[in-house]
Amino acid sequence: MEIEQLGHWPGIEGRVALVTGASRGIGRATAQALALQGAEVVGTATTEAGAAEISERLRAISPEAQGLMLNVADPSSVKTLFGALSGSQSVPTILVNNSGIASDNLFARMKQDEWDRVLATNLSSLYWVCKAAIRGMMRARWGRIVNIASVVGQIGNPGQVNYAASKAGMIGFSKSLAREVGSRNITVNTIAPGFIETDMTREMSESQQQALRGQIPSGRLGAPEDVAAAVVYLASEAARYVTGETLNVNGGLFMS
């Protein structure tokens, strides 16, 4: 499915949508999908070159789109980004927390640094970014937060204690925040992708991928567009009564 074939979803057009990690993979497809829905998309990358590339790509769809630099693991970087956004009157009411990393190792060998980096990038980032975004949503009395977790946070995976803990944490975070801000017309949901073809999974050998495909009822790894379509739904007015939910986009690998 091409992202252009999604059709129009109500409630997204004209909103400012911040997508972290929009330079590659799932975030890239999501930023494109939201731009095609008429959102003013702000997509982030960790480098200037990545941010410039996002601006160029998204402006082909929407002239207001912009790529900016952000390190979600650094609260001062989050502060700088939100300062720039409020300066340009681009206060996001759609927020997709997509940036994420893995740093795999068996638990017995896992270094403190591997634990710290993954937890800061995948989980503490939610504290920093949501904190910066929530006031603008409360003022607008409308907001959509979509957090990209993982099936690994639901079922675990050897070698990924750090990653699984961060992703399971995102689910608990989202449910609690959803309970706090529901009355303000702000929804907070999580998407739990299965294995999606991006740089993150490209390192798997062909035999690993084949074994994996055997466990997926759909018989294939997912495409970034499969996740982007779920984000569009959750960001839209069609999902206004859906909050605190974890939406599995995993081809049936895990059913909750």
User: Which residues are identified as catalytic?
Assistant: 163
What is the rounded CA–CA span in Å between residue 219 and residue 251?
Answer: 8
Q: Alpha-carbon distance 144 to 236, whole Å?
A: 8
Compute the CA torsion angle 249, 255, 238, 184 (nearest 10 deg). -100
- The interface with ligand NAP within residues 99-128 (CB under 6 A) comprises 99-101, 121
**Block residue for tokens 């927390």:** 97
Q: In whole angstroms, how close is the CB of 82 to ligand NAP at the nearest point? A: 14
By CB under 6 A, name the one of 40, 186, 195, 235 that touches ligand NAP. Answer: 195
**Binding characters for ligand NAP, 66-105, by CB under 6 A (x = yes):** ----xxxx------------------------xxxx----
Q: Which two tokens stand for residue 227?
A: 């996740």
Cα separation of the two ends of the chain: 25
Report if residue 228 touches ligand NAP, rule: CB under 6 A: no
CB of 178 to ligand NAP, least distance (A): 19
State the minimum distance, in angstroms, from the CB of residue 226 to ligand NAP.
11
The contact pattern for ligand NAP, residues 198-227, with x = CB under 6 A and - = no contact, is: xxxx--------------------------
Piece of 19-27, 86-94, 127-135, 203-211 that binds ligand NAP (CB under 6 A)? 19-27
- Binding residue (CB under 6 A) for ligand NAP from 8, 47, 86, 180: 47
Residue 89 sits at φ, ψ, to 5 deg, of 55, 30
- Among positions 119-178, residues that touch ligand NAP (CB under 6 A) are 121, 148, 150
Please state, in angstroms and rounded to a whole number, the distance separating the CA atoms of residues 203 and 95: 29
- Strands 186-193, 16-19: pairing kind: unpaired
Place of tokens 């050897």: 158
Asked whether the beta carbons of 95 and 130 are under 8 A apart, the reply is yes
- Residues at the site binding ligand NAP, with contacts judged by CB under 6 A: 20-21, 23-27, 45-47, 50, 70-73, 98-101, 121, 148, 150, 193, 195-196, 198-201
